[in-house]
Structure 1
Amino acid sequence: MWFLYLLSWLSLLLQVAFVTLGIAAGLYYLAELIEEYTVITSRIIKYMIWFSTGVLVGLYLFENFPALMIGVGLFTNLVYFGLLQTFPYILLTSPNFILSCVLVVCNHYLAFQHFAEEYYPFAEVLAYFTLCLWVTPFSFFVSLSAGENVLPSTIQHGDDVVSNYFTKGKRSKRSGILVIFTFIKEAILPSRQKIY
């Protein structure tokens, strides 16, 4: 009896490992697609924000959700539109990005408070969290590394493309989610190097 119990825990660990690797591979592929198609990604994120706004308005009109929770959610979507103005370039120190992070925490607090006071089936709670709280910030998170590999399209005051390339191009390194996934991929499956 103990042997089968031990095997069940071993199989559970293997299943968690495979699911984690599958999610990591999917996120890596998604980040690559976002880097390749930044204009389409921007349009998709814009439609997701509009859809989330429509869901929030529908929850207020048809389900009598609290006005404060809906108002903070709508303001958060407005801040997301501000982030979308400079997409794929997202500065982690910009006030818009910091405000969006603070608003995500506030939205979660208000949602937990509301769902603790009133009973809803788990599927409905998960639907609210997925469509109104998680999809848009997650898409911005996955696309953080997209701005690093986009060719310059405008010249800022005092910069030209050639001097920008020689001064910033050599010292700027890839960072973001793709670097993390590349590191994990190399740690798990190291590539073969040629020996001369």
Structure 2
Amino acid sequence: MWFLYVLSWVALLIQISFVTVSIAAGLYYLAELVEEYTVTTKKIIWWMIVMTLFSYIGFLLFEDFPTSITMCGIVSQAAHLFILNTFPYVVITSPSFIIGIIMLVVNHYLAFQYFATVYYPFTEVMAYFTLCLWLVPFALFVSLSANENILPTLAETRPLLDDSDVVTNYFSRKGKKYGLLSLFNYAKESILPQRSKKAF
């Protein structure tokens, strides 16, 4: 009896590790796609935001959700639209980004408070969290790595070197990468063993 119990825990650990590796590989692939196709990514995220806004309008019309949850969601989606104005360059100190983060936390708090008091089936609760709360912020999080490979423009927010010499400033900062893809590349180089090439 105890042997199968121990095996079930071992199997659970193996399954968790497989799921973790699969999610990491999927995120790595998505980050590569976002870096390659930034214009298409911006359009996809824009449509995600529009569909989420329509969902919140549907909550106002067809459901008896509290107005505070729906209005908070609409404000957060409006902040996400303003973040897309400078996409793929995302300024994390911009008011729209800060409002988006604050509204994400507030909307989570209001949703947890509401769903703790009013019963909904688990699938409906997960539908709300997945489509209305997590989809757009997750897409914006994955697209943060596209910021590393954009071409320099005069709209750079950091101080420019040599009297607005955009190209020199861009290439002097080129070595510093802090996005999602650079995190995955660092993990790949530090954790996975390196193959040595044989010279014949």
- TM-score, normalised to structure 1's length? 0.91
- Of residues 179, 184, 195, the one that matches 2:182 is 179
Name the residue aligned to 1:98.
98
Distance 1:90 1:77 in 2: 16
Q: Aligned letter for 1:174?
A: K
Name the residue aligned to 1:114.
114
Q: Secondary structure at the match of 1:119?
A: coil
Distance 1:72 1:99 in 2: 11
Shift of 1:193: 4.5
Q: Aligned letter for 1:164?
A: N
Per-residue CA deviations over 1:60-98 (Å, capped at 9, x if unaligned) read 110121111111110111100110001111122222212
Name the residue aligned to 1:155.
154
Q: Report if aligned partners of 2:142, 2:180 keep a CA contact under 8 Å in 1.
A: yes
Shift of 1:162: 3.2
Distance 2:173 2:23 in 1: 33
Distance 1:174 1:163 in 2: 17
Distance 2:167 2:18 in 1: 46
Per-residue CA deviations over 1:93-142 (Å, capped at 9, x if unaligned) read 22221221111000001111111121110000100111110000000111
Distance 1:177 1:167 in 2: 21
Q: Secondary structure at the match of 1:175?
A: coil
Shift of 1:194: 5.5
Q: How does 1:1-196 map to 2 (within 5 A)?
A: 1-152=1-152, 154-156=153-155, 158-169=163-174, 172-193=175-196
Shift of 1:165: 3.7
Q: Secondary structure at the match of 1:77?
A: helix
Question: What 5-or-longer segments of structure 2 have no aligned partner?
Answer: none
Distance 1:183 1:76 in 2: 32
Q: Aligned letter for 1:19?
A: V
How many residues are treated as equivalent by the alignment?
A: 193
Per-residue CA deviations over 1:42-67 (Å, capped at 9, x if unaligned) read 00000000000000110111012111
Shift of 1:143: 0.9
Q: Secondary structure at the match of 1:129?
A: helix
RMSD, matched Cα: 1.9
Percent sequence identity is 55
- TM-score, normalised to structure 2's length? 0.89
Q: Aligned letter for 1:119?
A: Y
Distance 1:190 1:132 in 2: 40
Q: Aligned letter for 1:104?
A: L
Q: Report if aligned partners of 2:28, 2:181 keep a CA contact under 8 Å in 1.
A: yes
Larger RCO, structures 1/2 (Cα 8 Å, 6+ apart): 1
